[in-house]
Chain A
């Protein structure tokens, strides 16, 4: 590789031959760099591969945040957690993706069509999503779903139905909004009189 670079450098120099000493220096510099890079590439991996983990009979109760932060610990294990279905239920063929959120984070869960059809409310601004209990196998880098971090649900139960959420308007904010907009109108009028607004937002104002 180092020799190739030297040869390319020669060609770029318009065919003039590189002095032998310089060529030797370039080679002696580039060869160890290439070797070091190759060694670092080979030795950088120090993490265990996702090994098959013996399944306990009972699912391990977890929080979603723990699954995300301790992926190697829970990889391939039967786990169970509770959370709110958020966003969209995305049907794909015989299965569907639902995203489930608890106080520590959100994760994608692969469910069957029948399981997904139970969901009536998905969490958003104006809706509290259905609370579900998911029991399934956690995958750090799912081999079926191109390396996704996911949970393949074995059971998917609705624990509590969600529904519409009302957001109250604070009267103080209405007053504040009206006051500020009123003040802005007065200031705009003053600016117009002083000739500071040539056109509403641009144009040529009076200059000094």
Chain B
């Protein structure tokens, strides 16, 4: 057999293996759609109920066709295949999850529905939905469930069962931009992530529902608001059940109640697990929490200074609720807002816009539900800079070692710094592309920067650029940016590499 034939054979095997496992992940999406269908039955929303049945049927058909057309190989998944399955699953899932959205009639076009699904999956939170205040409870449940699952990861959900007897499951897990191994096996790690998330779901829903009742919302609706807002907070997705987002509630109590959950969602699952196991000091020693606290403090002070000088808000409570809250929301990459998008654009001084844009780009922790550069990478680059300065200032014969703490003390290695810098550079490249395209379409530079930072960091705050009237190429670009940023580039690049390889033959 010639080398070309072997290569062809290998590619086909690779492709069939990828197709098979993508099919398995898609089957999970179909199963997940049963939840909003049940909600539709509870609230007697029969039109959306049938829309969800269509979605379930279509997801199961596509998933099963992939499973039948594909063929798993005994050795499981290679790194390339694991990464390709993760990124390809997200794209297929986007097209299928958008079906009930589009059928609901609340999205102007299928592209808009795709945009909102990707925004939910990637826990971004920018939306193109129309008349959200009259949307069915079941469709709203689907929106929030997508962002909740997206926070933990679609693949992580599938891995809770799929990993049994699947060699190379860890590659699939890493493909979804997670590398924290809480347990010896990937399946157990996936279960631990879901266990932590479900415990928080129960506590969070309870706390926010009680808060909602305390501010005058009746119990049944308070429970819905509590569950939806919790899912938006914990997943750092930023979706809210009403069009005014968190500004709908007009309450300091409710806003304050969301803060612990959006911060919790932005922390590394490894850190949650350490705290769960009684290692509470880890929260102070961890490089990511240190970077998060430092960056948030500095940028919030800049934002506060700018808004005080420009007299945008009067009084400490107004500044806390309108400025500090927005910065916490930005830094945790949640996207909850207590002001309207137009207010960022028209009222905030440019310095505050730039500060919050940087905050959105920096983001929170790796292996969390958050986006952005991530604290560990920023920490690594800063430590590396410090290392270089220390080396310069030390005698030439001295051996200077730099360490950082993340669960344990880790010696800073050039290889890791290089990788962290490369990922940050890639984030900056897509951010710049977003800014340039925004400016090319005539949006003012500060707004283009703000929006691009929000999409790149999977945040969801908007300065008004993201709207159904936005040009379609920008919608497509933003979908791509959300997807590639959430999967932290490698999986998507591998998928493109594979497609290129297949089309070349």
Contact = CB atoms under 8 A, between A and B. Distances in A.
A47 B20 contact: no
18 contacts: A14-B394, A18-B393, A22-B393, A44-B306, A44-B352, A68-B340, A71-B346, A72-B346, A91-B216, A99-B133, A123-B134, A141-B347, A147-B319, A187-B65, A201-B24, A202-B24, A203-B161, A208-B73
Given A12-B386, A123-B134, A47 B165 contact: no
Interface in A167-208: 167-170, 173-174, 176-181, 183-184, 187-188, 190-191, 194, 196-199, 201-208
A107 B319 CA distance: 20
A190 B166 CA distance: 22
A124 to B, nearest CB: 7
Given A123-B133, A177-B53, A208-B13, A147 B389 contact: no
A176 B54 contact: yes
Interface of A: 9, 12-14, 16, 18-19, 22, 40-50, 68-72, 86-92, 96-97, 99, 101, 105-108, 123-126, 140-141, 143, 145-150, 167-170, 173-174, 176-181, 183-184, 187-188, 190-191, 194, 196-199, 201-208
Contacts of B313: 141, 147
A92 B317 contact: no
B305 interface: yes
Interface string B301-331: 0100110111111110111111000000000
A180 B58 contact: yes
B472 interface: no
Contact of A187 (B68, B320, B351): B68
Interface in B215-248: 215-218, 221, 242-244, 247-248
Interface centre among A124, A141, A145, A169 (most CB of B within 10 A): A141
Nearest to A41: B305
A137 to B, nearest CB: 16
A191 B64 contact: yes
B343 A202 contact: no
A22 B389 CA distance: 11
B60 A184 contact: yes
A141 B45 CA distance: 39
B164 A169 contact: no
A206 B67 CA distance: 11
Contact of A9 (B47, B72, B343, B389): B389
B351 A41 contact: yes
Given A41-B306, A90-B217, A208-B71, 12 more contacts: A13-B393, A13-B394, A16-B394, A22-B392, A41-B302, A108-B244, A108-B250, A141-B313, A147-B319, A179-B57, A187-B68, A208-B74
A81 to B, nearest CB: 16
Contact of A147 (B58, B305, B315, B342): B315
Contacts of A13: 390, 393-394
Contacts of A19: 393
A179 B215 CA distance: 46
A108 B340 CA distance: 12
B250 A145 contact: yes
Contacts of A70: 346
B228 to A, nearest CB: 12
A146 B322 CA distance: 8
Given A47-B347, A97-B216, A201-B28, A183 B165 contact: no
Given A96-B216, A108-B247, A196-B67, A47 B311 contact: yes
Contacts of B395: 16
A10 to B, nearest CB: 8
